[in-house]
Amino acid sequence: MDTAEPITIFTAKDLETDQEVRWCPGCGDYAILKSVQKILPELGRPKNEFVFISGIGCSSRFPYYMDTYGMHSIHGRAMAVATGLKASRPELSVWVVTGDGDSLSIGGNHLIHTLRRNPNLNILLFNNQIYGLTKGQFSPTSEQGKITKSSPFGTTDMPFNPLALALGANGTFVARTLDRDPKHQQEIYKRAYAHNGTSLVEIYQNCNVFNDAAFEIMTEKDSKPFHTVFVENGQPMVFANGTKGIVLDGLTPRVKDLEELSVNDLWVHDESDPTKAYILSRFFDSEALPRPFGVLYANSEKPVFEDLLNKQMQDKRIDDKKTAFRQLLKSGTNWEVK
């Protein structure tokens, strides 16, 4: 059939399982689940080619609620499992669902090495700035001074900035979205899927039980326009209902009233520029700057891990993998214990 429209092979309803969704009522995870279920049928491939891998945490229940292939793996190790799957089955669409504790604490090392290796994975990082599953301890993204069950006098730790971390690890697709903005979520997930390489999407996700309203200033109707900037490639950075914009003074971002200057004088977003992407990621450090949402950086030029791995095997003419593995075990320095 010759048609410009993508062929819908299944519907969002077909992705629902017989498992009871066991997140707390009002949790932001519900909105993320619905957004993912909404976009998958639009990607033009059969349901059995999608795989969801998770670690441990509230977000990591995700594979139970998706009628696709999946695995609820080990705490902090979802990246390793997903990388191995993608290396052995590169034709699959592999998604990693993780949280700020799972991926930035026990799984931090796996995350940074996945980003530098660049397998073609889609990482959805649910960030609620708290440990929810274990009932409210501070996490690697909790703000300094956060009073929790594990920090009764306030945590002395500085929080991780996930997007700055991803850029520092040479991530090739770095983006941020919000659980309470389904339309934006869906746009970003589609962009992440289309990226050839590791995509990391940080999702600000409300935990209404243990850290309610952590992102309220960026989600509520009255405050959101003044505390967020939605970046688009090739577009000037305008926010506050079109009354303010951002300029670059050298490498220093500054907020300007649009009464003072023309839109043509504003910083125009270039998602291919890693230096400016890093500057954007550091808006995190200043209350005077809005928090950026959208694709901060995208680079499809870097080779992907599984292509390099399979090319190496072809160059070495490794046709029989089992035989090659046995030969490897018996090569070089080895010994037998009897």
- φ, ψ (nearest 5 deg) of residue 67: -80, 65
What would the mean pLDDT of 260-264 be, rounded to a whole number? 90
Residue 289 has a pLDDT of 98
What is residue 246's three-state secondary structure? strand
Average pLDDT, the chain: 93
Residue 154 has pLDDT above 80, yes or no: yes
Extents of the domains making up the chain: 12-214
pTM over 0.85: yes
Residue 316 has a pLDDT of 72
Angle (CA) 40 55 274, round 5°: 70
Closest by CA position to 291, among listed 223, 235, 236, 233: 223
**273 pLDDT tier (thresholds 50, 70, 90):** very high
Residue 6 has a pLDDT of 55
Residue 173 has pLDDT above 50, yes or no: yes
Name the residue with higher pLDDT: 120 or 316: 120
Name the residue with higher pLDDT: 2 or 157: 157
**9 pLDDT tier (thresholds 50, 70, 90):** confident
pLDDT > 70 fraction of the chain, expressed in percent and rounded = 96
Q: Please state, in angstroms and rounded to a whole number, the distance separating the CA atoms of residues 82 and 94.
A: 7
Task: Please say whether the beta carbons of 267 and 236 come within 8 A.
Answer: yes
Task: Please say whether the beta carbons of 204 and 127 come within 8 A.
Answer: yes
Whole-Å CA distances, 29 to 51, 172, 185, 240: 18, 25, 12, 28
Residue 1 has a pLDDT of 43
Task: Please say whether the beta carbons of 186 and 39 come within 8 A.
Answer: yes
Query: Residues 228, 232, 233, 234: is their CA dihedral positive or negative?
Result: negative
Q: Give the pLDDT confidence of 274-308 residue by residue, as tens digits.
A: 999 999 999 999 999 999 999 999 999 999 999 99
Least confident of 17-21, 22-26, 223-227, 312-316: 312-316
At the topology level, CATH places domain 12-214 in Rossmann fold (3.40.50)
Q: Please state, in angstroms and rounded to a whole number, the distance separating the CA atoms of residues 312 and 289.
A: 46
Residue 334 has pLDDT above 90, yes or no: no
